[in-house]
Amino acid sequence: MVDGTQGSHRKEGSRKMTEHSTEAAGIDTGKSILDVALASGLSEVQVDNDAAGHRKLAAWLRGKGVERVGIEASGGYERTVVAHLRKVGFTLIVFQPIQVRAFATYRQQRAKNDKIDAALIATCTAATAAFKDAPDPRLEAFAETLTLIEQIEEDIARSLPRAAPSRPARSRDQAPQSLADG
């Protein structure tokens, strides 16, 4: 202790900045297994990615006082658990993989395994202040088609700048005329 000061030299600090009023959970989705962690870091669980596992997960989340659940979009493996958890009253945030990677980069977290990813998604979920409402279930049938169309549009937009300079000037000039004549 320094003369004239009070208190301790140990850095005890406060957890107030990391505490959140709503308990949040994060789910790392696999084809057959869901790894789940709480943002508080106090608990985690692993359940099967099937109907029985989804029911077990919902009961576990309720028992922990979870209101908000984050999950990373994972090639469709997340769809059934998202639908089940929404149906039984949880607020879900479906993150795109790039969002989770950006959050990990921000937190300077490089380690990666399913349990660590679940904890990271939970922390990201707790830190997310604004999120979209659940999509209208009547439009779910169109979601995959819309995603495909958006991906094709992006592919076309990326390919156009590459294609134009690679064609010889003569073929660029003649192409529209030859098409018009055909």
Q: What is the pLDDT of residues 101-148, one digit of tens each?
A: 888 888 887 767 778 888 899 998 988 877 667 666 676 677 778 778
92 phi and psi angles, rounded to 5 deg: -115, 140
Nearest to residue 123, comparing CAs of 94, 103, 101?
Answer: 103
Query: Can you give the pLDDT at residue 76?
Result: 82
Interacting residues of 25 by C-beta distance below 8 A, sequence separation 6+? 36, 37, 38, 39, 61, 64, 66, 68, 69, 70, 122, 125
Helix axes 114-127, 97-106, angle to 10 degrees: 90
Query: Can you give the pLDDT at residue 3?
Result: 55
Pairing of β 23-29 and β 33-38: antiparallel
In the numeric block, the tokens 């979209």 are attached to 132
Per the document, the length of the chain is 182
Query: Can you give the pLDDT at residue 173?
Result: 56
Query: Can you give the pLDDT at residue 17?
Result: 42
* Torsion from C-alpha of 68, 17, 129, 154, nearest 10 degrees: -100
Confidence of residue 153 (pLDDT cuts 50, 70, 90): confident
Q: What is the pLDDT of residues 7-63, one digit of tens each?
A: 444 444 444 444 445 689 999 998 999 999 999 888 899 999 999 999 999 999 999
Query: Can you give the pLDDT at residue 35?
Result: 93
CATH 3.40.50.1980 fits domain 23-134: no
Query: Can you give the pLDDT at residue 159?
Result: 81
Rounded to two decimals, the pTM is 0.63
